[in-house]
Amino acid sequence: MSHASVLPPLPPRPAGSTDPAGRGGRRTWLVLALVALAVVLLGVAAVRVLAGVASGASSPEQAVEDFLEGAAAEDGVASLAALSPGEARGADALQEAVEQRLASLELDGTALAGDGLVASIEDLELSSEQLADGVARVTVEGGTFVIEREDGEPIDLGETFGPLGALVGLGAFASIEVESDASGSGSVIVSEGPSRSFDGIDDGYGWYAYSPEEEAEAQEEPEVLDRIEVPLAALWSYAAVPFAWSGDDDLGDGPDVDTTFLVVRHDSRWHVSIVGTVADVVARVTDAPVPDFGALADALDAAESGDRAVGATPDDAIRLLVESFGDGQVTDVLDALPVDLVGGLYPFASALQDLADEDGLALDLAVTDLATTQVSDANGLVRVRVDRLAAEGTAVEGTHSDDVDLVLDGSCLTVEGDEECLPADFVDATTIDGLVLTLVEVEGGYQVDPLATLYDNLATVAAELPEAWLTQLMGPATYGERTPVGTGTTTVTTDEAGSVVLEVPADAGDVLSVAVEAGVEVDGLDVYQAAEPDLPDYETSVHHGLWDEGGEGEPAVVATTVTESGDQLVHVQLAERRSAEVAVTVNVGAVPTVVPGDAVELQYGTYGVASFDGGAGGEEGEVGTTGPGTTGYCWSDEQSCMSLVVAAGPGVVLEVESFEDFGAPRGEESYDLPRAEATLAGAEDGLLETALVDGVARVELEVTGAGWVLLDAITYDEEGDIALTVLDADGDIVDRADAGYTYDDEWLDVQLQPGTYTVEVEVYDGGDPTGDVDLLLN
């Protein structure tokens, strides 16, 4: 059969045509060539689609490279394609919802691209180690994550702090050095690995602060960079710094953790498992048992042969998951979840089991009632609303066991008769009024997919959240609406997120104070001065202002000393995130000066403001108050150290606390207040070393002369917390301190009349009930 016979007949040659003989044949060959080309190209595309080449990679190294390249390019689809399918399931819908919502707010979803920055990965070097069949660990041996400006200009950190904030913060945290380049105009961030040495002041609690001199020095550092480079091989070391650092006062070099990824084979393609990667890295930096990677291979085999805990229906799958917690075996729970989601945890099951056993709580529950409504069924994912779920069983904690019953009914969960419901403002704002679970179709039935469930609910939140909530999440810098108010009481209306920004004119030197009506619960009350007209996106810029959250029947109050004349901004955030009318009282002007022992006058009716001069060299924390009030940070210059004192109710007295920092000696020769004559039973020179019995130590305090008593209780237990209480002869609490710090001390400065008191130190929250405690008097 000739080729021409399969083609449509050529048009008749017109009379007089100059078309040479054989042209029809050439066209035939041309048509054939084009058809062949079309078939080949379409075939290539079809193979890419049908062979599923897009998901996963052909080798473990390629999977990691795809993942990192996708992340650098901010291509969520590419990164998701490199991930284990279960970890990516539903994430794109969330990403889509977020991007659409950001677009509706005219915001760019690509953090770096939106600021004209481009990220890339240079000189990536990877190695791979086979851990078990279908399980590999890929190590990043070399390569650099680079951020540059698209237009080749230097990066101005001042302009791009938003997207780079975390990275710059990480750099500062890990002592990334800033070096000037050859031209001297720019600089390059070069990191040689993380370090835990800092220029700032360590307060012994893992926090540090710059002194004014260091802050000034920091300001002089170049803020324009040619490019930012982060060595990928040190990525996990950076990430591990905060974890390795907590609770460790011995600052040395940071942890040296290889940057590795756990890569798992699903459907003959390799995928990065973030769940497994995190577990693997944590296991390596802790004393976890040796992981059993063969368990993951077995789980993958079981999934392929349909030999897993699967529900025949979505309801069965929900029952199965709830009841899998029964005997406290971690692997039973993992078996009831999708293997492509939790597979990476199997090698670490024994470590997880140790954690579960340490907690010592097992819930043996049986589902007695389950009613669900199917919401959707598409792409292998079934979404069901749990209308009602009732379960009964036993909670076993150590040697104790109790009967337990719980009922989930719509948006309310009742456990042992105690009902908790989703807050009404949350339901209004998100439309989430109950539990909607996402289940995935697997071999033989269904399994609950907790991550897809989370993604789905977050997507709902992203789509439904009122704009006011979103702008608030984007940071206060995006607040546009401001409500001008003058002095006196004004009723203002908050936005749908319970937020309002007041604009108050004030002159330098004035004390500006704002009080929210008593009874209204306030989450935040911040003053931003005229010197910083744009609301900053971090609260630390509140300039020597202070606020008192108030209490029952007491107003929340914020006060600040104005440093620059103009409109000052006050951001009021109500606890209830919905539009509401609220009365605010604004006062501007001079305030009386008080000294320790003075009561603060309520010159504004429900509240009062006073100033206190701490003199030269004053320190934060030198003064405190009794009653519903608070003192502000010290505003220091060479001559004085001014603080503000706010009283949110009557009877607030300024008192000297006189401690400079945690752990330093207190109360020695620095009190202006009259001291009590008091003795602590068994103490020598005011110090008593005693032991706790059943978590409590009780010591008699005899006061023979009225006055102020300073008590300090110290434990050296690294677990738990302590509370310090003074009780009178009737057993009534005179004062109590429980600042909530772990393994530190609690102190009380209390005014006592002559009499016999009991000092009680109680350890809780996991502390040693038979440990030692030191009690110091005055």
Q: Please give the residue ranges that form the binding site for another protein (CB under 8 A).
A: 8, 10-18, 27, 30-31, 34-35, 37-39, 41-42, 44-45, 48-55, 66, 69-70, 73-78, 80-81, 85, 88-90, 92-93, 95-97, 99, 108-110, 113, 118, 378-381
- DSSP letters along 689-738, please? EEE-BTTEEEEEEEEEE-EEEEEEEE---SSSEEEEEEE-TTS-EEEEE-
Bridge pairing between strands 227-231 and 187-190: parallel
Residue 73 or 681 with smaller CB distance to another protein: 73
Residue nearer to another protein on the CB measure, 76 or 555: 76
> Nearest approach, Cβ of 767 to another protein (angstroms)?
48
DSSP letter for 20, please: P
Q: Is residue 207 within 8 Å of residue 245, measured between CB atoms?
A: no
Least distance between another protein and beta carbon 523 (Å) = 34
Asked if residues 742 and 650 have their Cβ atoms less than 8 Å apart, the reply is no
Least separation in angstroms between residue 435's CB and another protein is 20
Question: Minimum CB separation from another protein for residue 459, in Å?
Answer: 9
Least Cβ distance, residue 41 to another protein (angstroms) = 4
CA nearest to 64, candidates 238, 236, 274, 228: 274
Which stretches of 466-607 are assigned E, i.e. beta strand? 483-484, 488-493, 499-506, 511-516, 522-528, 546-548, 556-561, 566-574, 581-589
Give 83 or 688: the residue with its C-beta nearer to another protein.
83
Closest distance of CB 69 from another protein, Å: 6
Residue 263 near residue 280, CB atoms below 8 Å: no
Residue placing its CB nearer to another protein in the complex, 92 or 598: 92
10 Å Cβ neighbour count for 416?
10
C-alpha–C-alpha distance, residues 21 and 769, integer Å: 107
Rank residues 96 and 620 by Cβ distance to another protein and give the closer one.
Answer: 96
Residue with smaller CB distance to another protein, 88 or 599: 88
Distance spanning both ends of the chain, measured CA to CA? 112
Closest separation between CB of residue 62 and another protein, Å? Answer: 13
For the CB of residue 19, give the shortest distance to another protein in the complex, in Å. 9
**Judged by CB, which is closer to another protein: 81, or 775?**
81
Based on the number of CB atoms within 10 Å of its own CB, is 328 exposed (0-12), middle (13-18) or buried (19 or more)? Answer: middle
Q: DSSP assignment of 367-379, as one string? A: EEEEEEEEEEEET
DSSP secondary structure letters along 644-683: EEEESSTT-EEEE----STTS--SSS---SPBPEEEETT-
Both structure tokens of 719: 């677990």
| Closer residue to another protein, CB minimum distance, 13 or 388 | 13
In the complex with another protein, the residue whose CB is nearer, 28 or 742, is 28
Residues facing 714 on adjacent strands? 745, 774
Nearer to another protein, 32 or 703 (CB): 32
584 contact partners, CB below 8 Å, separation of at least 6: 485, 489, 490, 491, 492, 502, 514, 515, 516, 517, 572
Distance (Å, whole) CA 28 – CA 13: 15
Minimum Å distance from CB 444 to another protein? 17
- β-bridge pairing 445-448 and 435-442: antiparallel
Q: Smallest gap, in angstroms, from Cβ of residue 322 to another protein?
A: 26
Minimal distance in Å, beta carbon 230 to another protein?
A: 19
> Which is nearer to another protein, 85 or 231 (by Cβ)?
85
* Length of the chain as a residue count: 778
Q: Nearer to another protein by C-beta: 43 or 754?
A: 43
Nearest residue (CB) to another protein, 380 versus 755: 380
Q: How far is CA 71 from CA 56, 341, 473, in A?
A: 15, 20, 23
Query: At its nearest, how many Å lie between another protein and the CB of residue 555?
Result: 47
DSSP class per residue in 591-610: --B--TTPBPP-TTSS-EEE
Residues 318, 772: Cα–Cα separation, whole Å? 48
444: helix, strand or coil: coil
Query: Facing residues of 265 across strands?
Result: 270
Q: Please, what is the minimum distance in Å from the beta carbon of residue 40 to another protein?
A: 10
